[in-house]
Amino acid sequence: MKIMMGNAELEMGSKYLTELRSANDLLHDVDALRQRLEEDGYLLIRGFHDRADVMSARSGILQKLHDMNKLDAGFPIEEGVIAQGAKGAMFGGAVNEEDENMMPFYHLVNSEKVMSFFDRLLGGEAMTYDYKWPRAVGNGDFTGAHYDIVYMGRGTKQVYTMWTPLGDVPYEQGPLSICLGSQNFEKMKATYGQMDVDRDNIELGWISKDPIECVDKFGGQWATTPFEAGDMIIFGMFLLHGSVNNTTSRFRISSDTRYQLRSEPVDERWVGVKPKGHYAWGQEKSKSMEEARKEWSI
Ligand SMILES: O=C(O)CCC(=O)C(=O)O
């Protein structure tokens, strides 16, 4: 089976691409979960969220897409069919209680279940960034390879991303993909991994749009899987990830949200009632990643 990532076509089960594995069998054993996270760089938990809660978060976001005329009126809203020419959308920001459509989503990613999972995994009281990144990814769109640290590295480096599909996301709808082993790309961590998009103003922040080039040059192997509503995957700040292309006529709806120990320093851009977010990135003409990579010799 061929999977599209950017302009590349990757064969599932080749040196470039394999399947993510679930960590559900380790859920009862926190030491084993930590060890797996260390070794694999991620934990995929199937059926973690209540499917009904995920579907109500999805409905709220679909309602917003409908209100923005981004859905094809010829289909039921819940199918999320993209209106002719409509682009994707990011609904980044902190909880806004006036936005009723978003409340089920905030409850989902801030739930007691999520927070106590991180309390247990991190071995202390966890906190979540107030800022959340729910998104609708349009036809032909994908996310290029990046470390999250370049967007949120001003506090502790022990921050974890939880990626939650808000609905079922089969291969062709563009699920998350990660580069296995990229948590050990030492030269990349010492160069690209020290970058801060607001300080360095480098376009997109993606180290590469070409997953084949990544493997040939840096090593590792891409991994993805079809996701179902309820699944989630977590990973640290130094794990290259991106996504498969959405080749369907429906939006891929998902979110990325962040968690860390409350006792550790926090990146001030992402907390508070109105987090300031990226304040400088892209304000001036940004440097190309190609140029930055030449300077880093990677
Ligand atoms: O959903 C995507 O396409 C990318 C998500 C991502 O980059 C993240 O979860 O950090």
pLDDT digits (tens, 9 = 90+) for 158-174: 999 999 999 999 999 99
CB distance 148 to ligand 1 below 6 Å: yes
Residue 164 Cβ < 6 Å to ligand 1: no
Q: What one-character DSSP code corresponds to residue 157? A: S
* Spatial contact of 127 and 266, defined as CB atoms under 8 Å apart: yes
What residues of the chain score a pLDDT lower than 50?
none
Residue 125 CA to ligand 1 centre (angstroms)? 25
pLDDT of the residue at 117: 98
Residue whose structure tokens are 């859905």:
71
Q: What was the pLDDT predicted at 232?
A: 98
Contact yes or no for 153/253 (Cβ under 8 A): no
Q: Are 135 and 90 in contact (CB under 8 A)?
A: yes
Q: For 33-92, how does the pLDDT look when each residue is reduced to its tens digit (9 = 90+)?
A: 999 999 999 999 999 999 999 999 999 999 999 999 999 999 999 999 999 999 999 999
Residue whose CB lies within 8 A of the most ligand 1 atoms, among 20, 91, 133, for a mutation test: 133
pLDDT of residue 282: 87
Tokens of 5: 């990532």
Rounded distance from Cα 78 to ligand 1 centre (Å) = 22
**H or E element in which residue 232 lies:** strand 232-236
Q: What is the pTM of this model?
A: 0.97
Quote the crossing angle between the two packed helices 30-40 and 112-122, to the nearest 10°. 80
Q: Are 239 and 179 in contact (CB under 8 A)?
A: yes
